[in-house]
Amino acid sequence: MSDRIAKYQKFLALHQGSQPFLLGNAWDATSARLFEEAGFAAVATSSSAIARSLGSADGQQISFAEMVRVCAAIGKTVSVPFSVDMEAGYGDTPAEVCENLEQLLDVGAVGINIEDSLPFAGKRTLMSAERMVGLIRGIRTFLAEREEPLFINARADSYLMGRPDPREEALSRAYLYRDAGADGLFVPRVQTPEDIRTLVSVGLPLNVLVGPGVPDLPELATLGVRRVSMGGDMQTWMVKQARDLAVRMRETNSFSGLLQ
């Protein structure tokens, strides 16, 4: 059994436990190692955090080659399973997305997030459910032909996009994505216990994003959530701490805070 397959099996098992697991969202090899050393069972990239670390904006504004370089460094650094935020796949067709995916398999990724919104003319738009279904099916066929396992976490962005009835739209899309071959469901910005419970009923391991109004881990466990992401929030916090220290050093002409 290859190392990647063994890590995939560990990653899959995390989604099948009785308690949700907290995923460490990294943006480089150092942050990935930080999460592993802190005891996290798995890490995943955050596209927004990677983009910010490279001086860019989220939404496929960095090149795919830049993303792969970050993922390769993470794969060489940590021993825990790692998944990749692939955004909308960096391709106009399933075939193009699968060409990109092959590069992620080569650097050891055991899972991906693939989302149903994409940047267009400077803003994010929700793609049709049919297009997303075709993309998931294309990825699933690609993996089957190569006999490669991979956890496909399908992201439904109706809440993120501020749609009129986000729960119903996310629910209808979730069933379609499940039937197309998704292994998990990720719904950023879902908050209320009622909405979370409804999405859990789809039957896929539900991934929620931490944020204001989101229940804490014990309550998420009772609601049936299996995976919790932090997105770019850890990077945001670390940058703020570093900025505050830099300001104090400049204002006080003292290095004491840095040398503690």
At the fourth CATH level, which superfamily is domain 3-232? Answer: Phosphoenolpyruvate-binding domains (3.20.20.60)
Q: How far apart are the first and last CA of the chain?
A: 46
Q: Tell me the CB-side half-sphere exposure of residue 222, using CA atoms within 13 A.
A: 6
User: With contact defined as beta carbons under 8 Å apart, do 184 and 174 qualify?
Assistant: no
* Beta strands across the sheet bearing 151-155: 21-22, 227-229, 206-209, 184-186, 151-155, 111-115, 82-85, 43-45, 24-26
Distance CA 239, CA 246 (A): 10
pLDDT of residue 66: 98
The per-residue pLDDT string of the chain (260 residues; one tens digit each, 9 = 90 and over) reads: 699 999 999 999 999 999 999 999 999 999 999 999 999 999 999 999 999 999 998 889 999 999 999 999 999 999 999 999 999 999 999 999 999 999 999 999 999 999 999 887 678 899 999 999 999 999 999 999 999 999 999 999 999 999 999 999 999 999 999 999 999 999 999 999 999 999 999 999 999 999 999 999 999 999 999 999 999 999 999 999 999 999 999 999 998 888 87
Count CB-CB contacts under 10 A for residue 242.
11
Residue 1: per-residue pLDDT: 66
pTM for this entry: 0.95
- The answer to whether 33 touches 78, Cβ cutoff 8 Å, is yes
C-alpha radius of gyration, the chain, whole number: 19
Taking the C-alpha atoms of residue 36 and residue 43, their distance in angstroms, rounded to an integer, is: 8
Q: How far apart are CA 68 and CA 84, in angstroms?
A: 9
